[in-house]
Amino acid sequence: DTVLTQSPALAVSPGERVTISCRASESVSTGMHWYQQKPGQQPKLLIYGASNLESGVPARFSGSGSGTDFTLTIDPVEADDTATYFCQQSWNDPPTFGAGTKLELK
Amino acid sequence: QVTLKESGPGILQPSQTLSLTCTFSGFSLSTYGMGVGWIRQPSGKGLEWLANIWWDDDKYYNPSLKNRLTISKDTSNNQAFLKITNVDTADTATYYCARITMGITTYFDYWGQGVMVTVSS
């Protein structure tokens, strides 16, 4: 299975720019997607196909990367962005998720 | 407006069969390119994909659980189902269903609120 590695946690101040990384154990081309999950809620799709912004998601969120290295950027970060962010690949079977990066605001 | 909602037994005993239902609206599983997936999440942990079913009744399972999983659908009632046989405490989790759309790459664009399942003797 393709293993996705994410940093466990980040802390930033509102108004700053934050990058959340996801590294795949093998190439996933652009088959990488990002989800936001707030406590007690279901995951929400933010970015699909590595860099495509899902409809209704603020333009503060952006994604980049291909192959094995991917980044989710939030600029500027707002207080409401406190959540856990998961990457997910669908290029290789089976689909797999990263363990998540917990974003906290200072 | 796309919505999905999971339902399940809440609690069951080890070795029993877990039956989950996903009732959805806003799309049809008889439409070309539409699918529903099941994903689970133990409390405080990450997400694990379980199975997908497509409009043409193609089915895909996580190999690590394949022998225990059965996914199915009832197109006329806008429902998808997942059965997991021989459950144990490791199957305790929140179970989500989500819509998937066929494309160059597939992703889960709408999720249900999840249903919590506890396996305990």
Instruction: Quick: pLDDT tens for A33-83.
Output: 999 999 999 999 999 999 999 999 999 999 999 999 999 999 999 999 999
> Can you give the pLDDT at residue A57?
98
- With 80 as the cut, is the pLDDT of residue A4 above it? yes
Helix (H) / strand (E) containing A84 = strand A83-89
> Can you give the pLDDT at residue B66?
76
Q: Which residues of chain B have pLDDT under 70?
A: none
Instruction: Quick: pLDDT tens for B91-115.
Output: 999 999 999 988 888 999 999 999 9
> Can you give the pLDDT at residue B45?
93
Q: What is the percentage of chain A residues whose pLDDT exceeds 90?
A: 98
The residue type found at A53 is L
Q: What is the percentage of chain A residues whose pLDDT exceeds 70?
A: 100
Half-sphere CA count of B68, side-chain side, radius 13 A = 15
Measured between CA atoms, how close is B8 to chain A, in angstroms?
16
Residues of B with Cβ-Cβ distance to A35 under 8 angstroms = 108
- Per-residue burial over A44-70, b if 16 or more Cβ lie within 10 Å, else e, is bbbbbbbbbbbeebeeebbbebeebeb
Q: How far is CA B3 from CA A85, A95, B79, B99, in A?
A: 22, 23, 12, 9
CA-based nearest residue in chain A for residue B60 = A94
> Can you give the pLDDT at residue B104?
81
Measured between CA atoms, how close is A90 to chain B, in angstroms?
6
Residues of B with Cβ-Cβ distance to A97 under 8 angstroms = 39, 46-49
Measured between CA atoms, how close is A84 to chain B, in angstroms?
10
| Cβ proximity of A89 and A70 under 8 Å | no
CA-based nearest residue in chain B for residue A39 = B44
What is the average pLDDT value for chain A, to the nearest integer?
A: 97
> Can you give the pLDDT at residue A37?
98
Cβ-Cβ pairs closer than 8 A, A with B, add up to: 57
Residues of B with Cβ-Cβ distance to A29 under 8 angstroms = 105
Residues of B with CB under 8 A from a CB of A: 39, 46-49, 60, 62-64, 96, 104-114
CA-based nearest residue in chain A for residue B96 = A42
